[in-house]
Amino acid sequence: GAVVSQHPSRVICKSGTSVKIECRSLDFQATTMFWYRQFPKQSLMLMATSNEGSKATYEQGVEKDKFLINHASLTLSTLTVTSAHPEDSSFYICSAFQGAGGYTFGSGTRLTVV
């Protein structure tokens, strides 16, 4: 079946630094990937839609300059949290669209900003 890999699975960073999270589709090409954020004991909220070769589309209220998304190839999208602060601590999950194969979610990245 389709597999989406996220890396790293856990990361702890200092306040003010930037963190990059990778989302890879391992055995299929994904023209569209999605980034979600999950606060503790809450649901997942869509942050942005990432399209290969073009700019990401951000949901209302999501700062595009803070959450930089790059979808440079059909198998890789990256989310960079810039100048991270403790309130950015969260669980970030990506999803990749496989066409008729549907949507596959990654295993998630737990970000802790200290």
Partner 1 sequence: GEDVEQSLFLSVREGDSSVINCTYTDSSSTYLYWYKQEPGAGLQLLTYIFSNMDMKQDQRLTVLLNKKDKHLSLRIADTQTGDSAIYFCAERKGNKFYFGSGTKLNVKP
Binding site for partner 1 (CB under 8 A): 6, 32, 34, 36, 42-46, 49, 93, 95, 97, 102-108, 110
What does the block give as tokens for 49? 């839609």
Q: Among residues 32 and 70, whose Cβ is nearest to partner 1?
A: 32
Closest contact distance (angstroms) between CB of 80 and partner 1 is 20
Residue 90 contacts by C-beta under 8 Å, 6 or more apart in sequence?
A: 37, 38, 39, 40, 111
* Least CB distance to partner 1 at residue 11 (A): 13
Residue (of 39, 80, 90, 83) closest to 56 by Cα position: 80
Q: Which residue, 39 or 73, is less far from partner 1 as judged by CB?
A: 39
Contact 94, 33 (CB under 8 A): yes
HSE toward the beta carbon, residue 62, CA cutoff 13 A: 19
Measured from the CB atom, is 82 or 105 closer to partner 1? Answer: 105
Min CB(85)–partner 1 separation in Å: 23
Closer residue to partner 1 (CB): 42 or 83: 42
